[in-house]
Structure 1
């Protein structure tokens, strides 16, 4: 028996052959309303949308205009998600993706909605795979793939968690998942061998020494001694397979953990000798420099605690901080270019640009970071700071108010910080009554916050003038 959805999918296939992409998209969307878990047809929909946009010279990831004309759709997506109306939410997400089929934030929302449907795991995995194909640096997507693959394909799950560890070597969740899945796989292999008459679990290990090494490898590295033992084991493995990139990277990470930075740098550079396009090795070298700068700054701060009036130490610290910030500008610019859909990088890049008074460039990064709902609060706050610095006070006030509406704890440090900035902005604009009232809101909960008491008096006096 032919299902209604199959008729729609068949017509869509014919429309694609005639390059009638818009009609094909309509048919595919209608079919997927009837059959939302059809993985292949959703892939076909996405590729057709991309072809349609590319044919017209558009942006498949969406742009500012896309965000403007889809505001109603974005609100519907958020509202339906909160109501847990997953199938309706999927329809609205697809309405957005028709205009921006490679928008990572909305693809992520689609995967989450599909996962919430009964038997939706395979469909969710398919969408998440599309995301990492667009940008392999999407760490949280690899994490979700690891979680979803865990019960159905431990080997694929391990590979995904390894990706998480590659970008975040000290990620505890990833480390635990890899150990648990590896043990699970080993036990299954042992059971299979026992059933086939080839031996039991102990037969899998060539010797007691090998068993001990395996146990050590699966142990969490908590101390420096653990790391040193892990270095020796990794060196032994590298001696057998000298060009194994995973092992070389692991050795570099272990050296970095012990703050043996020269040795770590040598390993990461070796990776680049083997593969000049190894993006992970490039990022590791950047992270290594970050560690070196951070350690130097921390060392100077400790010295200053013992000698707070030492002008030479103060100058050294200021110089070290400035050099670190200059380094971060270059590093983060490169990372944003390498991972164009990573909103977290954009937000961090914007923060360092703002520190360096490159305000217009910072605004651009914060506006792009707004695409990720998790970054919206801080991005609005930083946009407010940017507009305040530019003297665009009305825009700054609007951004600060948006920030306050999104902060759950009205008495948090961030809320007080934003209220202070909002009050200052009112003051700079010459509106001293709301400036004073906003400062009084801080005073009511924390009289010791900065110079809030003096500010209240200052704005009250200016009201009278």
Structure 2
């Protein structure tokens, strides 16, 4: 169900690559699909589970529509034709760069980089630098996906070491990208949310919290931003404050059994558990297990808390 919706949304983005509304919809659909499939790797700590969840959603939301090589070349040829007709057009420059990167060859990537760097040097318009960073991240995600599925292997390296190194590179690029987007688009709350998310992953909680507090003023981001805020407070050790924030986020979540609703309930249970309020934690875990027994490590946590209560 979600796979078909994601594919349709990806196809629409292929036709309208600059449509931010479609990109938002793709992110939401991809998150739902990821939750449905339960792809959370083998994270062993709460912080690792957050990073693992973010990583899985990110790769899924950035997957491109599978095109034949002929289709990719046709798109690139048409984009080049339009660019040659109006080489100063911002839209034409961005579309040609996108089409070149989709070819997934080193010469095409080099041409795309040159095209965008030249446009930025001439105009000093951040949109070209922004697109360059986006395409670099897109190429890196493609490489990560290919290493993951065994399509390619980097020489003389352990696959897990390869992935760890590539993911660190991607996290760094994302951090720089969203930081610069916030600097250049200071009123765009989406960028503040994403930069706050990056800072959370980097364990820079005190820097992340103010950005997420601003981001929650966007109704589309409010619940997700509050969830990330709660995680920051939880990982800072401010357990009661985290509980307050998760409680408010859950009140404002329209569908408690949605992916974000489950996340909030689980995170609030973790906060109760960290605050040694085990009865409250167990109650939340129980209700979550009744809805989705395979969600994360809920069943194991229920067994652990019940065992501890029995032994005491």
TM-score, length of structure 1 as denominator length: 0.49
Question: 5+ unaligned residues in a row in structure 2: which ranges?
Answer: 1-12, 23-69
Alignment of 1:267 with 2:120, yes or no, is no
1:289-332 per-residue CA deviation (whole Å, 9 max, x = no partner) reads 1112211211111129x99xx98100110111011111211221
- CA, structure 1 residues 250+419, in 2 after alignment: closer, same or farther (shift >3 Å)? closer
Superposition CA RMSD, Å: 2.7
Alignment of 1:418 with 2:264, yes or no, is yes
Alignment of 1:280 with 2:127, yes or no, is yes
SS in 2 for 1:448: coil
Alignment of 1:296 with 2:143, yes or no, is yes
What is the alpha-carbon distance in structure 2 between the residues aligned to residue 458 and residue 172 of structure 1?
A: 44
- CA, structure 1 residues 320+441, in 2 after alignment: closer, same or farther (shift >3 Å)? same
1:371 deviates by 1.5
- Bigger radius of gyration: 1
1:46-125 correspondence to structure 2 within 5 Å:
none
1:396 deviates by 0.5
- Counterpart position of 1:359: 205
- Counterpart position of 2:101: 256
1:375 deviates by 0.7
Contact 2:76 2:96 in 1 (8 A): no
Alignment of 1:454 with 2:285, yes or no, is no
Question: 5+ unaligned residues in a row in structure 1: which ranges?
Answer: 1-164, 175-221
1:458 deviates by 1.9
- CA, structure 1 residues 311+290, in 2 after alignment: closer, same or farther (shift >3 Å)? closer
1:315 to 144, 148, 161: 161
1:269 deviates by 1.4
- Counterpart position of 1:344: 190
1:372 deviates by 0.9
- CA, structure 1 residues 311+407, in 2 after alignment: closer, same or farther (shift >3 Å)? farther
- Counterpart position of 1:408: 254
1:225 deviates by 4.2
- CA, structure 1 residues 302+170, in 2 after alignment: closer, same or farther (shift >3 Å)? farther
Contact 1:426 1:434 in 2 (8 A): yes
1:245 deviates by 5.0
The structure with higher relative contact order (CA 8 Å, sep 6+) is 2
TM-score, length of structure 2 as denominator length: 0.71
